[in-house]
Structure 1
Amino acid sequence: MNSRSVLLFSSIVIFLITATISATDDGNETDYQALMQFKSMITNEALRSWNSSFHHCDWSGVSCEKPHIRVTYLVLESHGLEGSLSPHVGNLSFLRYFSLGDNNFQGSIPQELGRLSRLRLLSLAFNNFTGVIPSNLSGCSNLEELHLGLNKLVGSIPKEISFLSKLGFFYLRTNKLTGGIPLVLGNITSLKVFSATENPLGGSIPDTLGNWKSLTNLYLGACNLSGTIPHSIFNLSLLTELSLGENQLTGSLPSALGTTLPHIEFLQLRMNQMTGPLPPSLSNCSKLRFIEVNYNNFRGKLTIDFSKLKDIDYLSLGNNNYGFGESDDMKFIDTLKNCSKLKVLLLSDCKFQGMLPTSIGNLSDQLTILTFNKNHLYGNLPSSIGNLVGLIGLSLVNNRFTGKIPSTIGKLKSLQEAYLYGNHFSGIPDSIGNLSMLTTLWLSSNRLEGQIPLSIGNCHNLLELHLDDNKLSGKVPAQLLQLSSLTIVLNLSQNDLSGSLPTEFGDLKMLTSLDLSDNKLSGHIPSSIGGCTSLLFLSLKGNLFHGTIPSSLSSMRGVSTLDLSHNNLSGQIPRFLEKLTLLEYVNLSFNDFEGDVPTVGVFTNTSAFSLLGNNRLCGGLVELRLPKCKEKDNHKTRFLLIVIAILIASTLFFILCIVYACCKKRRGQSSQSLRDERFLKVSYNQLLKATNGFCESNLIGEGGFSSVYKGILDHDDEFVAVKVVHLQNRGANKSFIAECETWRNIRHRNLLKIITSCSSVDFQGKDFKALIYEFMPNGSLHDWLHSSSSKSKPNILQRLNILIDVASALDYLHNHCLPTIVHCDLKPSNILLDDDLVAHVGDFGLSRFLGTFSNQNSTTGIKGTIGYAPPEYGVGSQMTTSGDVYSFGILLLEVMTGKMPTHKIFHDGLNLHKFAYMALPDHVTDVIDDDLLSFLQEDATANQCKLENAKTVEECLALVFKIGVSCSVDSPPQRMNIKNVVHELQHILDTLQNI
């Protein structure tokens, strides 16, 4: 090659290199500018680390790939981002994975995203995006996953989405989408998962969805769908999960369903209008583990051979019409004996008739919940029921069972809730005392005779006992009253109990409702009953009590209903009744009270009290039309009283002057502390001043529904937390109402204390709502675990104490409240810490009340938070206490590992639960939080920890991890009971403290 050729070749090479570098630089600059534009529309400081100190490919959440050094990954899930999404993101032309899930983005989804032709995953789920889904997302021709769920999107599903020929996963749940399901979506033959649960879509299910031959999961619950289910759906042979609950679907199931859906594992059709029989061919679906078809119009005998469904663990068939009153109505029970994994069997309101077969005792010893409510079952309850040793909940309400409750029930050592009311049972066995785990026993409206068994005093976990409307006789046993666990209800009304009340009643210090009405109890009301200081409801009506009302009742400061009517009580109406500020109704009718009627407190409203049948009363409100009370006409006495009054008034005035002079420099002495003022009234103006005009420097937290400010109210030196509700956001007002309703019903040391609420208008005339809480100086558990501030991280003992506090709060909400309360959004940011690092659970904006077994027909609607919400909520299942337990398990693992469930290492099937599970039992120290590990190493060095002590510490840590893993398993029935969690964690803490 001559010199000219060499020179020419070199020039070409240099030109190409320069061109490549120039192109790369231009591409880099385009990406950099797009990212800066993205950051510019984030309204908080969540992306402050995005600065010129690092190349943009090294910024948090950003990844680039060679050779072009172009941005291919932008993943910022759960980063607390707020603001709107910049359309300049459409300039990241090499972007393949784009995820902004679980943030607080608002505004519309930019049309420019349709330019990202290389994009494979787009996740904008769990934000506050509004507007419509851009139709030109069809330009993302390589898109495989599209996550738009849990937003506020409106309009219809764009038909252009059907052009995404590679789309495999399409999530739209919990938006406001209407317009039905487009027929053309059936063209996306690559689709594997489609979820549109909780959208008011309307219309019917298109037959074209039968083209989704690769589909494995279809979720269309609560979509306002009508019509029949197309037969083409039942031909999707790869389908494993089908959820169509809470619609208005009609028609019947195809008889060959068990043949056409051989891989089906999850079948949810609850709360529709479906008819016809349940196909016997379901017996062929050998992989079925979950069947929920309750609340339909299915009829005909159950002829399914369940013995072939060996993986079934949840079977809910209730509220249908299967019974014909024939001898073989319940033969299907015999076929369930081989279902060794069965944990939940719900057969309420199925119109079953006849006797419960003894084969009921052949069911799995793993069975935890069994219900036969509202059928037509009669005869004795089979003694074989005692074989179901795994039972936690048993409900046989409103049948016609007769005879004694079998003594074998005492074998059910795990039983926690027993609902047997509305039957004809005649006796309670002594073996009832063997049920040491029992928390609820409901035997109302039976024909129980004889005395209350003394052995019931052995049920040391009993929270509520209902024995009303029976024929029980004898005295109230003192053993029953020594159950300090009784905190919810003791109802012995409408029986034939006699004798005087034992003084042990005063031991029930935490009891909230006591009903002894309509018995034959006599004697004086013992003064010891005043020890029941937590009572909200007390009824002694319809007995033979005499004497006066004991003054000790004045200690029941929280009582709202007091009924002492239809007795032989006498004396004057006690003045302390006027001072019970929470008393809403008092009934003193048909006794022998005398003297003047009070006109203060509850006695200011005639609808709030009743005094009928007391013929010696006088005075009171004019509406009572009672005679005036006689006045003593003794002038000397009157003169003396006037003189004494003047002297007392003069003395008091002198003392007040001195007190005023001494206290002039103090603030707030003229009013009670906020901590003692239960009904403090505050205005919008007061809150405006308290928070310095809701200024940003006072802002301590912000969420989708509210902003929280620190402030000081007038005349008080203590900080409060003011939670201002964003009423313009969808669901905010509902959240406010839910939180108010919850706080009305709860009180516990580990729950955030509410001071008052404000429902008013601001200075522009707009609605204003706020909640005022006790201020927690140590912030949230999330801050302590993840904040980069100088705040020291909690050590192992502090973390265990915090976890015990949270578990104790859940135990109270789940097991000590009536009705049961489910928090629904448990996570570290909702756990607040006081000066002593005592944990307080707050934010009940998503909480729900659950009735007894009513959660089986609850509607969907709980979102929770991604990472903490249990997997069953994602497919439209009802909220349950086990959902809270799942959230607690994830929270525990986060506390111990220091990793949020949305940490970047969790992908491709790995999550926090599996991360912890794989470390058990010998590698816990490999996954424990680095800060916690350093604490343990420092402690070991400082104390010259012995080898056996170090081993004990590791064993304890493994036990803690095991609890978190057990709480966060996918299957709700397999999760730990929260009461056991409290016990186990306390035992671990005690062990560590003794090392």
Structure 2
Amino acid sequence: MASSNMFRRVLNLSLIYSWLLFAMNCRGSVGAAGFTNETDRQALLAFKDLIQEDPFATLSSWNDSLHFCEWKGVTCGRQHQRVTALRLVSQNLVGSVSPQIGRLAFLRKIHLHNNSFHGTIPPDIGHLFPLGLTLPNLKYLYLGGNKFSGPFPPSMANTSGLLLLSMPRNNFTGPIPSNLGNLRDLEFLRLNGNQFGSSKLNDLSFIGSLTNCSNLRKLKLSENQFGGVLPGSIANLSSKLETLWLGSNKISGSIPQEIGNLNNLYVLAIDHNMISGSIPESIGKLSKLQKLQIVINNISGKIPPSIGNITGLSLVDAADNMLEGTIPAELGNCTKLQALDLGGNRLTGVIPEQIIGISSLTLRLYLDLNEFTGSLPSQVGNLKNLGVFALGDCQVLEYLDLHGNLLDGAIPSSLDQLKGIQQLDLSQNNLSGQIPEFLGKLPLMRLNLSHNMFEGEVPKVGMFNNISAFSVVGKNMKICGGIQPLHLPACPIKFSKKNKRLFPDKTILLIILPIVLLLACLFLIFYRLKKSQQRTSSASLLENQYPKITYAELLHATNEFSPSNLIGEGRYGYVFKGSLNSGEHIVAVKVLKLQEHGANKSFMAECDVLRILRHRNLVKIITACSSLDFQGKDFKAFVFEFMPNGSLDSWLHPTQAREQGSNLTLVQRLSIAIDVASALDYIHHHCEMTICHYDLKPSNILLDDDLCAHVGDFGLARFLSANTNLSNNAHFKYGMGEEVSTEADMYSYGIMLLEMFTGTRPTDSTFIDNFSLHNYVKFALPDRVMEIVDSTIVLEEVEGLNRNRGGEGEFAKLKSCLQIILRLGVICSAELPHERMDSKNVVKELHRITKAYNE
């Protein structure tokens, strides 16, 4: 009897379960567990109710005039008319996510990334309810690029059908639940750019549960606060794993020997951590690996020769570790290698010819800050397509830097093959012999041969005629001749009949000299005419380079240049927010004030500069417009990518309109400082012509969604190369009175750095006579640094220390960090130009400061 009752009970449960499965998949108006089409409509309306800002009117169609399946961003199944996908990507929506989203029982995809949602993720997304899952059909969840906070929802592990979980670039905190492995079908997991972890032990223990996810292909956990050792279970992840990103955390321990089990891996990135130990020999088993990034760790030992087995490698970045020994010649087997960075280690011996001979090396080769010896391999001339080859203290692009090593011998004649080289630094070595004349014929803008052992006559050809373009000072005691500004001793001359033919008599000079002067005048006239023609065509060249746009289109895009769209104003122009392509593309439109004296010149200067600039930390231009308005008047404008977070100035000196609690943290300010310095490094050293911005200040630094800085407003920029054929090749007084130069930009950068970290404008009324922001900070260093820094930095960092129970040692580290930063600003804004730090060294120093503070 008991067994019979048990049988009936099991039978009844089976029937109930079968009925539920039928109900969840039926085609009528009745949905899962009694949810209906009306349930979906009400859930969507509840979602809309919590949206506080909708700048593009994305949800304007969400009303009773349309069936909810026709609302923008909503996708329904064809048969059952239930919501299957919600796509609201990059709509600048502001608000929180309604818990009612959990009632969309047929939902398979949620795409909400790149908005400004805040608050916590509703637990209803993964919660259980009586007789099944709230979202049993959910496959894809995109929540990246918002402002979600709070812990990782433990109930997320209940959405058992999930294939992709993407939550990057939010403000999530706390641990990752250990039951995440319940998502056995998971293929993509992206949690990067949050505050997950506690910087302590066992933060990565959840990785052990992910070994249950046999289909996992991409795992991205970088840019968080994960601490503790790298667990050995990482080698037991899915054999299908293709990318593993763990960079920018606080992970310690060593790379497990079993890492070779992940034989489908093509990206391994564990950079910017505290990994120790050596590179395991098993690394050579990762035959499909393309990118290996272990930069900035504590990895020691030798580079294993087995790395040569990974013939598909395209990038190896192992800089700033403690690697020792020689570079294995087997690395030359990696015939697809495009970038190799081994700088900042303890490597010794000669540079293998096999490395220099890799023909695919087209991006960069960094071997700086090591202990290499011997001569520079002659094969260096074969690197005709290489963007960077660095053996010295450099972190820049598109030049050959060999300074600061122990290289000897003569300059290889093979350097003559580097026809595209712009900068060459051979200083601080033991190079000898005569300075080759072919160097003067290369398209060099800068050449540094100082502090070597060269001898003989300094050439006078090409760039050797420009004293500001090259240097031969220092230990080169046996050189002679050259141009007069070098003030070198004359080279010994053996007079003969042949020599005397070189000196014409007075009669010939009287005939030749007027002819030469006449030709020079004609050349100068021709040059100025040509330069004038190029100046007038700069705008058209820029327009031809980018998509064309008319005055009428810009008028419509900015609502007829409505004051409500005005987002900024400068000396020469107004900046309006606009939308192109029916609102799909938000842009910034800079309209020139042509009635202002100098506005036309500013427009031409910016056209000249923008035609050649390409860098992630410069404001991206979309196009330019030079035409007539509807009254027949001249109209000139630029169209730029819109920067949603405004200018750096508005963050440093917020108005009442700015949201409270949106101050920049110390780390964010450091990141912005690095971005700006990187932009200066590019325009000073790596673009087509050397450029001085001439107007660097916080109001010209714009911030994107991720608070990444972009330098803008090149209306006052100047080209500094003596042989440029572009407009605006003039010199101007700037800063402390010197001519415009890269040092002048560094003065502005130094002042901006001081303003960023003190919160005080350089134009503050307290600065009178000779008392400036520079002196204000200089006199306070080092002991009174905490009295002058921006109080919001101190309050936020101290609060963080209190939350994490940081002691006096952590506070001392904060103080030391601020001392170093402000000292850097003082150096950059020094009165004498030669005392200021160069942009490339500023970038390097700021990276070191950031690394030290995060440790």
Q: TM-score, normalised by structure 2?
A: 0.52
Could you tell me which runs of 5 or more consecutive residues in structure 1 were left unpaired when the two chains were aligned. Answer: 1-26, 45-80, 102-115, 424-437, 528-539, 547-671, 677-683, 762-768, 776-816, 820-848, 860-995
Residue pair 1:375, 1:398 contacting (<8 A) in 2 also? yes
Counterpart of 1:721? 637
Q: Look up the match of 2:93.
A: 129
- What does residue 215 of structure 1 align with? 186
| C-alpha distance in 2 between matches for 1:754 and 1:215 | 49
| Alpha carbons 2:379, 2:414 under 8 Å: kept | no
Q: What residue is the counterpart of 2:736 in the other structure?
A: none
SS at match of 1:264: coil
- SS of 1:207's partner is coil
Question: Could you report, residue by residue, the CA deviation over 1:477-527 in whole angstroms, capped at 9, with x for unpaired residues?
Answer: 22101112x23x322222234556433244788x99544333445557458
Q: How does 1:613-762 map to 2 (within 5 A)?
A: 704=586, 706-709=588-591, 711-715=593-597, 719-721=635-637, 729-733=644-648, 742=679, 746=683
1:395 and 1:86 mapped to 2: Cα distance?
A: 54
Number of equivalences = 525
Q: Deviations over 1:388-422 (max 9, x none)?
A: 33223322222222222344555656544221226
- Displacement, 1:317? 2.6
Superposed, which structure 2 residues align to 1:503-902 within 5 Å?
503-506=460-463, 514-518=470-474, 519-520=476-477, 522-523=480-481, 525-526=483-484, 544=488, 704=586, 706-709=588-591, 711-715=593-597, 719-721=635-637, 729-733=644-648, 742=679, 746=683
Q: CA deviation at 1:467?
A: 0.3
Shift of 1:122: 1.4
SS in 1 for 2:119: coil
The structure-2 alpha-carbon separation of the partners of 1:376 and 1:753, relative to structure 1 and needing over 3 Å to count, comes to closer
Closer, same or farther in 2 for the Cα pair 1:746/1:201, shift >3 Å? same
Q: Residues 84 and 408 of structure 1: is their aligned pair in 2 closer, same or farther, counting only changes over 3 Å? A: closer
Equivalent residue, structure 2, for 1:431: none
Ranges in structure 2 where 5+ consecutive residues have no aligned partner: 1-36, 127-133, 491-534, 540-565, 600-632, 652-671, 701-709, 717-741, 746-837, 849-855
Match for 1:373 among 319, 324, 343?
343
- Please give the per-residue CA displacement for 1:931-968, whole angstroms capped at 9, x wherever unaligned: xxxxxxxxxxxxxxxxxxxxxxxxxxxxxxxxxxxxxx
Deviations 1:600-629 (A, max 9, x none): xxxxxxxxxxxxxxxxxxxxxxxxxxxxxx
Secondary structure (helix, strand or coil) at the match of 1:274 reads: strand
1:491–1:514 contact (8 Å) kept in structure 2: yes
Contact 1:723 1:770 in 2 (8 A): no
Distance 1:499 1:384, change over 3 A: closer
The Cα of 1:292 is off from its aligned counterpart by 0.7
CA contact (8 A) 1:251 1:276 kept: yes
The residue number in structure 1 matching 2:452 is 495
CA distance, structure 1, for counterparts of residue 231 and residue 577 of structure 2: 63
In 2, the alpha carbon distance for the partners of 1:339 and 1:268 equals 19
Amino acid at match of 1:372: L
Aligned pair partner of 1:280 in 253, 257, 263: 257
The 3 A distance-change label for structure 1 pair 323 and 673 is closer
Letter in 2 for 1:516: V
Aligned ranges for residues 284-303 of structure 1 at < 5 Å?
284-303=261-280
Instruction: Tell me how far apart the structure 2 counterparts of residues 759 and 119 of structure 1 sit (CA, whole Å).
Output: 46
> RMSD between aligned alpha carbons?
5.4
Alignment partners' CA distance in 1, 2:73 and 2:269: 34
2:69 corresponds in structure 1 to 95
Residues 854 and 503 of structure 1: CA distance in aligned 2, closer, same or farther (over 3 Å): same
Q: Is 2:216–2:238's contact at 8 Å kept on the other side of the alignment?
A: yes
1:387-402 matches, within 5 Å, as 388-392=358-362, 393-402=364-373
C-alpha displacement of 1:377:
2.1
| 2:148 aligned counterpart, secondary structure | coil
| Among 67, 76, 82, the residue aligned to 2:56 | 82
Q: Is the 8 A contact 1:275 1:298 kept in 2?
A: yes
Q: CA deviation at 1:146?
A: 1.0
- 1:188 to partner: Cα distance: 1.3
Superposed counterparts of 1:195-594, under 5 Å: 195-227=166-198, 228-229=203-204, 230=206, 231-324=208-301, 329-330=302-303, 332-334=304-306, 336-361=307-332, 363-385=333-355, 388-392=358-362, 393-409=364-380, 414-421=385-392, 439-484=398-443, 486-487=444-445, 489-498=446-455, 501-506=458-463, 514-518=470-474, 519-520=476-477, 522-523=480-481, 525-526=483-484, 544=488
The AA in structure 2 aligned to 1:490 is L
Identity %: 26
Map of 1:640 onto structure 2: none
SS of the aligned residue for 2:340 comes to strand
AA aligned opposite 1:95: C
How far apart in 1 are the matches of 2:581 and 2:140? Answer: 39
Secondary structure class of the residue paired with 2:416: helix
Q: Tell me which structure has the larger Cα radius of gyration.
A: 1
Contact 1:722/1:770 (8 A) holds in 2: no
- Kept in 2, the 8 Å contact 1:722–1:773? The answer is no
Letter paired with 1:712? L
Report the CA distance shift for 1:379/1:199 in structure 2 as closer, same or farther (over 3 A). Answer: same
| Matched residue, 2:800 | none
Q: Is the 8 A contact 2:101 2:125 kept in 1?
A: yes
Shift in alpha-carbon separation, 1:700–1:242, aligned structure 2, 3 A: closer
In the other structure, the counterpart of 2:705 is none
The TM-score, its normalising length taken from structure 1, stands at 0.45
Q: Supply the distance in 2 between the matched residues of 1:699 and 1:267 (Cα, whole angstroms).
A: 38
For 1:473 and 1:135, locate their aligned partners in 2 and report how far apart those are by CA, in whole Å.
Answer: 75
1:206-232 Cα distance to aligned partner (Å, 9 max, x none): 223222111111111121111412121
Aligned twin of 2:814: none
Partner residue of 2:783?
A: none
Cα distance in 1, alignment partners of residues 692 and 99 from structure 2: 48
Q: Tell me, what secondary structure is at the counterpart of 1:708?
A: strand
User: Is the 2:578–2:587 Cα contact (8 Å) retained in structure 1?
Assistant: no
Is the Cα–Cα contact under 8 Å of residues 283 and 309 in structure 1 kept in the other structure? yes
Quick one: which amino acid aligns to residue 118 of structure 1? Answer: R
What is the alpha-carbon distance in structure 2 between the residues aligned to residue 387 and residue 685 of structure 1? 53
Q: CA offset at residue 756 of structure 1?
A: 7.3
